């Protein structure tokens, strides 16, 4: 297939592009390049792509593709809360516009990167039940709310020729040539290497479903070529029950992966309403033979090796690999305007 991959220069997109290419697809990227320099190790070889803001795309950008994989977004809660209106402009309105342009151009499949954060505080009080795709959506942040709104609007676009698929990813972890250290496991591993401490600021009790970036890439690749009736207009949780873990458990796994590191749970950030254990069986049923390959422990070991190999510094950890810090620095330097568009 000819595939337009938005967000191809992000943490997940940089892992996904070569997986798609290896499956025989022709990939074209589209990204504003906000985090293109957030590289750990050698600069990755990106597929050909457009450097364009999602809000400025035209029909020409989507013409001639069989499918769109839409990853580009302000991609976490701190970014979303920094400027909620921008989050809705980019994550919601521009995403729906992209989908409409794609549908009008005859693109048949549209894989949307949603998130398990849409469940928010949806778990049972005792968390005894796993949260499935039909659970009520109770987003607790603008980021998660923007994802719910896109799902609603894309659902209305589904028809006999246009197949949106809602990929509700668990929180990602693991190595990518363009790294993020502001997601829980990657953060704990980096901090442990730099300080010898696995530092948990919550009380450690919230449940977090995790999934390796490479498993997300494999899941999207599988959904791309799955029979239409298996995926048409459906939501799928992407991850694995074995990686439904509490933050305290993640910390223990990290301490085992980084020798000498000690867990310290301060609890200073108090309770976190985002706590849920997720049921991932629907995607396995839709895509026979698919399962995630990576455990939390394997990901922690892999990432610790990558950080060591490429020499993680405190500066990189706090600035280069933290999305909010990168955007603040670009804004302070006058490189982007207050709508996060490049100047000049
Ligand atoms: N990483 C996770 O844990 C996770 C979990 C669930 C869902 N997701 C979703 O997966 C997608 C990719 O996440 P990621 O971790 O790779 O994030 P990322 O921040 O690393 O990458 C996002 C990419 O989108 C681009 N982008 C942002 N705003 C843009 C705009 N206005 N125009 C064009 N490009 C723009 C950025 O330049 C960046 O390359 C996002 O939609 C995110 O919400 C991620």
The mean predicted confidence, pLDDT, of the chain is: 94
pLDDT tens per residue across span 5-58: 999 999 999 999 999 999 999 999 999 999 999 999 999 999 999 999 999 999
CA distance 106 to 4: 13
For residue 273, the model assigns a pLDDT of 72
For residue 76, the model assigns a pLDDT of 81
For residue 33, the model assigns a pLDDT of 97
Q: Which two tokens stand for residue 244?
A: 């439904």
309 HSE (CA, 13 A, CB side)? 11
For residue 123, the model assigns a pLDDT of 53
Q: Determine the atom of ligand 1 nearest the C-alpha atom of 94.
A: 31
The Å distance, Cα 304 to ligand 1 centre, comes to: 23
The answer to whether residue 230 scores a pLDDT higher than 70 is: yes
Evaluate the CA torsion angle 155, 141, 293, 240 in order and state its sign. negative
When pLDDT is cut at 50, 70 and 90, the band that residue 202 belongs to is confident
Domains contained in the chain, CATH given? 2-178+209-244+273-295 (3.40.50.720)
pLDDT tens per residue across span 267-288: 888 777 778 899 999 999 999 9
The Å distance, Cα 72 to ligand 1 centre, comes to: 4
For ligand 1, is residue 32 a contact (CB within 6 Å)?
yes
Q: Determine the atom of ligand 1 nearest the C-alpha atom of 76.
A: 43
Q: Determine the atom of ligand 1 nearest the C-alpha atom of 34.
A: 37
pLDDT tens per residue across span 56-83: 999 999 999 999 999 999 988 777 677 8
Beta bridge partners of 113: 167
Type and span of the H or E element at 72: none
Q: Determine the atom of ligand 1 nearest the C-alpha atom of 147.
A: 43
CA distance 146 to 118: 9
For residue 276, the model assigns a pLDDT of 84
CA distance 12 to 210: 14
Mutation pick for ligand 1 pocket among 5, 6, 7, 184 (CB with most ligand atoms within 8 Å): 7
What's the CA angle centered on 323, arms 248 and 164, to 5 degrees?
A: 90
How are beta strands 2-6 and 171-173 bridged, if at all?
unpaired
Name the phi and psi angles at 265, rounded to 5: -105, 110
Higher-scoring residue by pLDDT: 128, 71: 71
Tell me the Cα Rg of the chain.
Answer: 19
| Residue 92 backbone zone (phi > 0: left; psi -120 to 50: alpha; other: beta) | alpha
When pLDDT is cut at 50, 70 and 90, the band that residue 252 belongs to is very high
Note the pTM of the prediction, 2 decimals: 0.97
Percentage above 70 pLDDT, the chain: 98
CA distance 300 to 307: 10
The answer to whether residue 124 scores a pLDDT higher than 80 is: no
């Amino acid at each position: 297939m000819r595939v337009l991959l938005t967000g191809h220069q992000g943490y997940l997109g940089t892992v996904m592009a070569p997986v798609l290419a290896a499956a025989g697809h022709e990939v074209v990227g589209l990204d504003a390049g906000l985090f293109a320099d957030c590289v750990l190790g050698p600069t990755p070889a990106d597929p050909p792509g457009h450097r364009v803001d999602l809000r400025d795309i035209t029909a020409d950008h989507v013409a001639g593709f069989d499918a769109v994989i839409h990853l580009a977004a302000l991609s976490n809660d701190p970014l979303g809360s920094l400027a909620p209106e921008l989050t809705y402009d980019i994550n919601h309105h521009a995403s729906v516009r992209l989908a409409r342009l794609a549908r009008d151009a005859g693109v048949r499949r549209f894989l949307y990167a949603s998130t398990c954060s849409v469940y928010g505080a949806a778990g049972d009080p005792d968390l005894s039940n796993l949260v499935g795709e039909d659970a009520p959506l109770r987003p607790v942040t603008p980021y998660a709310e923007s994802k719910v709104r896109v799902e609603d609007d894309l659902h209305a676009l589904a028809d006999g020729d246009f197949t949106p698929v809602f990929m509700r990813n668990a929180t990602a972890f693991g190595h990518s040539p363009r790294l993020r250290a502001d997601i829980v496991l990657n953060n704990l591993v980096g901090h442990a290497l730099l300080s010898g401490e696995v530092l948990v600021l919550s009380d450690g009790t919230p449940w977090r479903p995790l999934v390796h970036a490479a498993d997300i890439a494999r899941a999207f690749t599988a959904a791309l070529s799955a029979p239409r009736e298996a995926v048409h207009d459906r939501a799928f949780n992407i991850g694995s029950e074995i990686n439904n873990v509490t933050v305290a458990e993640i910390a223990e796994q990290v301490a085992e992966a980084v020798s000498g590191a000690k867990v310290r749970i301060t609890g200073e950030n108090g309770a976190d309403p985002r706590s849920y254990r997720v049921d991932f069986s629907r995607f396995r049923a839709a895509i026979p033979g698919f399962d995630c390959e990576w455990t939390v422990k394997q990901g922690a070991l892999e990432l610790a090796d990558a950080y060591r190999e490429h020499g993680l510094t405190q500066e990189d950890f706090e600035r280069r690999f933290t999305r909010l810090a990168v955007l603040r620095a670009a804004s302070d330097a006058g490189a982007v305007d207050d709508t996060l568009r490049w100047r000049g």
